[in-house]
Amino acid sequence: MKHYLVVSDDTALHARVSEALGEEATELEAWALADAEADGGARITAPIRGKHPDTVILGPDAVAGSFVLADRIATHWPGAALLLVSGADAATLRAAMRAGIRDILDPAEASEVWTETIASARDSARERLSAALLEESTAHAGEEPASQLIVVVSSKGGSGKTTIATNLAVGLATAEPRSTVIVDLDIEFGDVANALRLTPDRWLQDAVFGPARNDTMVLKTFLAEHESGLFAVCAPETPEGASGITAEHVSHLLGQLAHEYRYVVVDTVPGLSEHTLAALEQATDTVYVCGLDVPSIRGLRKEFDVLTELGLRAKREHLVINNADARAGLVVADAESTLGRSADVVIPAHRSVRLSTNEGVPLVQSARRGRIVKPLRQLVELIRTRRGAQQ
């Protein structure tokens, strides 16, 4: 079903679009700018399927000074063809493309050119949407997806998530070249970039807003690359960069990456943020990191309960006891009995870990096979061979 929307206060523009659409003008809905902004923009929040426009035409006044509206439409109606009426300069056009605008209607062009431009933008948007739907239905066909999404979580801060996520990711990337991407979902204070000594020029916000959202080729150019061949989506450089990144952005990004890479490793904040929950919804593997202290063990036990209640236990689960030091009064068996399951990997406390964090060189990159590197490599193999407690 065709359904067009034009957004502008210029009624002459409504008439021009209507003329270009010819008979299909009966499917045209015209909004003034105030309509698009009504209820804080709530009219542009529902999914594309159902009665939502498959083609949206924005007047020059709809993007005057800002592409917020365009970006919002691209986010909430990802299957819509988004066109801009503009005789604009290159800088404006670039900003428009970044906001998800697919084509331009030049006011100086004849009505037939508009008809053709609208039809071709609409057709290519429809092709993209059917490809996405096909992908979705294949994913739901019940078979195990080829890719693995591994989410590293813990109930408490400082338990070793970033250390384990980065070592795991580098281990996977080394074993299978160009197979792995790590995503830093510690969106305000993430330190995957430091742990890998990366100096990215694009960050998480670039991956979730703008053209990367609808175009995986663009997304791939936004990834940082580590010397091991691992790719990375690094957290914003400053906490302000994290503003506006929603759980929905995270789900979409992880879906895109899982389609492209064999392994997607996700580092998270302590506890269960909305972004972590969004990642866990898609996880094939969850790595639980737990320290040998009472708060961590009790916290993780609660986390198991909450995730069970939410139906978010992953297909395979891996329990990693980190920073194990019997001198602190507890032993691995204490944690295992409280958690009701055995540990898959135990990483002792050792100063080389802190050293490696400070130097930004993951331990699995070293040639050593010591008591720290061995359990990290064990975890890599558990993931690769798809072993782990089955839910």
Ligand X SMILES: Nc1ncnc2c1ncn2[C@@H]1O[C@H](COP(=O)(O)OP(=O)(O)OP(=O)(O)O)[C@@H](O)[C@H]1O
Binding site for ligand X (CB under 6 A): 154, 157-163, 186, 270, 322-323, 347, 349-350, 353-354, 357
CB 380 → ligand X: shortest distance, Å?
16
Closer residue to ligand X in complex, CB, 165/258: 165
What secondary structure letter does DSSP report for 328? G
14 contact, one of ligand X, Mg ion, none, CB 5-8 Å limit per kind: none
CB 354 → ligand X: shortest distance, Å?
4
52 contact, one of ligand X, Mg ion, none, CB 5-8 Å limit per kind: none
Which residues in the 144-203 window bind Mg ion by CB under 5 A? 161-162
**Looking at the DSSP assignment, which residues form a beta bridge with residue 321?**
290, 346
357 contact, one of Mg ion, ligand X, none, CB 5-8 Å limit per kind: ligand X
Please spell the DSSP secondary structure of 120-151, one letter per residue: HHHHHHHHHHHHHHHHHHHHTTSSPPSSEEEE
Q: Which residues contact 228 (CB under 8 A, 6 or more apart)?
A: 170, 173, 174, 362, 365
Distance, CA of 82 to CA of 101 (rounded, Å):
5
Closer residue to Mg ion in complex, CB, 161/318: 161
Residue of 152, 178, 167, 228 whose CA lies nearest to 381: 167
With contacts defined by CB under 5 A, how many residues of the chain interact with Mg ion? 2
Closer residue to ligand X in complex, CB, 224/347: 347
86 contact, one of ligand X, Mg ion, none, CB 5-8 Å limit per kind: none
Closer residue to ligand X in complex, CB, 49/371: 371
Alpha carbon 315 to chain centroid distance? 20
**Which H or E element spans position 249?**
helix 247-260
- Tokens 């970039």 sit at which residue? 193
Phi, psi of 52 (to 5 degrees): -120, 150
Closer residue to ligand X in complex, CB, 59/160: 160
Q: Which residues bind Mg ion (CB under 5 A)?
A: 161-162
